[in-house]
Structure 1
C-alpha cells in the first residue's frame, strides 16, 4: 500500500526496498507485541491450550499454555506485507499465499487437538494429503510464471541440471519436507523460533541479492527477476517472529502450534526455491534436518531391529531424558543454527 504512495503521489522514500522492508519489520513486530497479551488472555479464557502427551515431568507444567500463536504472527506478517509491499509482484503474492495456506492447515490441526483434548490432531494421512495439495498448488504457480527450473548446488556457480517439468515434483518435496521438519522441531520453548529466524534471515539475504542485477552479477548468483520485493515479506515475518519470541522464550507464555510451525516451514521452503537454494536448505535449516533425521532413524531402527537409537525422539527429547535442562538444550541448538547459517552465507562469496 505504501508502495503506491511513491508510484501515484511521488513520495520518494517509499521507492526504496530497504526502507519498506525495515518498516514492515517494525510494523509486524509492534503488532505482535501488542496483540499477543490480548491473545494469551483470550486463549486462556477459552481453554485453547496445548494438550501435553509427553511423559517428561518438565512438560506437565506446560499443560495450560495457550497454543495457536502462529495465527497471530502470520496475521501480523500479512498485514505488514500488505502495507509495505508491491502486491502486483508474483513473488510477493505467492509468498503471502504460502504463509496463509500452510497456516490454515495448521489451524485445522490445532483446533482438533484443542477441541478433542488430545495431541493427535488430524490423522497423519489427511495431514500429508493437505500438505501435498498446498505444495502442489504453489509449485504449479511458480512453474507457470516460469521460475528458474535449474538445480544449483551450494558453492558451485553454474547449475548442474535443468529439471524442466520434473521441477514441480522436486519443489513439492521441498515444501513437504521443510514444513514437516519445522513442525517436528517445535517441541521446546523457542526451539523452533530462533532457528527459523536464522534461516529466514539467511534466505532473505539471498533473495535480496538474487533480485538485484548488480549484486547477483557480482556474486555470480542466479538472478531472479522481481524477486527482491519478497524481501519485504520475509522481513515482515522476521519482525513478527521477534515479537513472538518475546512471549515464546523460556518459560513460554504461548506456543506457535502447527499453525505457526507449518507456515514457517512452508515459507522457508518457498524462500529457498525462489532464491534457487533448495539444496542449501540442508545447511540453512540444519537443526530441522537433525530433528527430522532423528525421528526417521528412531522409527526405522525400531521397525527393523526392534531397538531404539535414541532414548526418545525427536532428538531434543533424547537430551531431556539424559538430564539436560531445557534451557541448555534450547540455547545449544540455537548456537548450532546460527553457526550453520553463517556457513551457508559463505556460499555467497565462495562459488
Structure 2
C-alpha cells in the first residue's frame, strides 16, 4: 500500500501546486450556460487538474517498479493528451469536434486492443477480441467523461471502481492520486480534472478490467458511468423523435440536481450505488483480482 500512500501525498502536493499555477495565470473553466444555473458560479475554477494527479500516479507507479500491465499506461497517456487538447481548445473557445475526438479514440483504442489481445483472450477469435476491447475502451472513456460534472463525483466513483484491483501498482497509484485530488474538492471543488483526467480514468478502468479477465463485469461495477451515458443517448434520441425530454437534463446527475438534490447528495448516493455494484461483482467472480 506504500504506492497508494505515495501517490496520494504527491497528488495532494501537485494538485495544490497546479491550482496555484492556474490561478496565477488567470486560467479557469468557462461553465456552459445551458447547464444547471447553480453551476454558473463555478466559472473561472481552475481546470485540467488531471495533469497533476495523473503525473503523481505515473511517478508513484514507476517508483513501485511497475507491473505486467505497463503497456496500459500508453493508452492512459494517449487519452490524457487527447483530453488535454480538448481542454485547451475549450479555453480558446474552439472545442474539438466530437468526430475528431472519436477518430483519435478509435485509433488509440485499436492499438491497445491489438496488444491486449496478445495478453488475454475472451473468445476463440482474436479479431473479435480486438473489436470488443476497442469498443469497451471507447465506451468507457466517453462514459467516464459524461460522469464528470459534479464536484468530486467522477474521482470518488473511479476510486471505488478500481478497488477490486488494489493489489496492482497501477490501481494503487491511480486510487492514491484520486484521493490526493479529492482533498482539494470536498466541498466545493477548487479544481476540475477536465477531459484530461476523465478520459484517462476511463481508459485505466477499461484496461484493467480487460487485462485482468473481468471485462464482462465492468458494466456492473461502473454502473453509474453506464447510466450517465445511457441517459444522454435516451434524452437525445427521444427529443429528436418527439420534441420532448424524459430527463430534466442529461447526463443523469444533472437530472437529480434539478430535482432538488444538492451536489453532495448526488455524489454520496452515486458512490453508494457504485460500491454496491462493485461488492456484488467481487462476490460473484469469487474475490478481488
Corresponding residue number in structure 1 for 2:85:
108
When normalised by structure 1's length, the TM-score is 0.78
1:55 is displaced (CA, Å) by 4.2
Post-superposition Cα deviations, 1:240-295, rounded to whole Å, max 9, x if no partner, equal 00000111232001110000000000110000110121121001101001111100
Counterpart in 1 of 2:271? 334
User: Are 1:85 and 1:92, in contact at CA under 8 Å, matched by a contact in 2?
Assistant: no
The 5-angstrom pairing of residues 22-33 of structure 1 reads 22-33=1-12
Query: 1:180, 1:33 → 2: CA distance?
Result: 26
- Please name the residue that 1:131 is paired with: 105
Contact 2:72 2:112 in 1 (8 A): no
- Which residue number in structure 1 is paired with residue 48 of structure 2? 68
Which protein shows a greater Rg?
Answer: 1
Query: For the residues of structure 2 that align with 1:329 and 1:295, how far apart are their CA atoms?
Result: 17
**Number of residue pairs aligned between Structure 1 and Structure 2:** 286
Looking at structure 2, the residues matched to 142 and 56 of structure 1 have their Cα atoms a distance apart, in angstroms, of: 40
Whether the 8 Å contact between 1:282 and 1:289 is mirrored in structure 2 is: yes
Give the match for residue 158 of structure 1. none
Is residue 11–residue 57 contact of structure 2 (8 Å, CA) maintained in 1? no
Partner of residue 241, structure 1: 178
Q: Is the 8 A contact 1:132 1:172 kept in 2?
A: yes
Q: Which residues of 2 match residues 1-351 of structure 1 at below 5 A?
A: 22-53=1-32, 54-86=34-66, 91-116=68-93, 121-143=95-117, 146-150=118-122, 161-202=123-164, 204=165, 231-349=168-286
CA distance in 2, matches of 1:48, 1:135: 31
Q: Displaced runs of 4+ in structure 1, greater than 3 A?
A: none
Distance in 1, matches of 2:223 and 2:170, equals: 23
Q: How big is each residue's C-alpha offset from its partner over 1:162-212, in whole Å with a ceiling of 9 and x where there is no partner? A: 23221111100000000000000000001111110011112x15xx5xxxx
- Give the superposed CA RMSD: 1.5
**1:47: how far off?**
2.5
Between 28-37 and 168-177, the greater mean CA deviation after superposition: 28-37
Q: Structure 2 stretches of 5 or more lacking a match?
A: none
Distance, in Å, in 2 between the alignment partners of 1:182 and 1:266 is 9
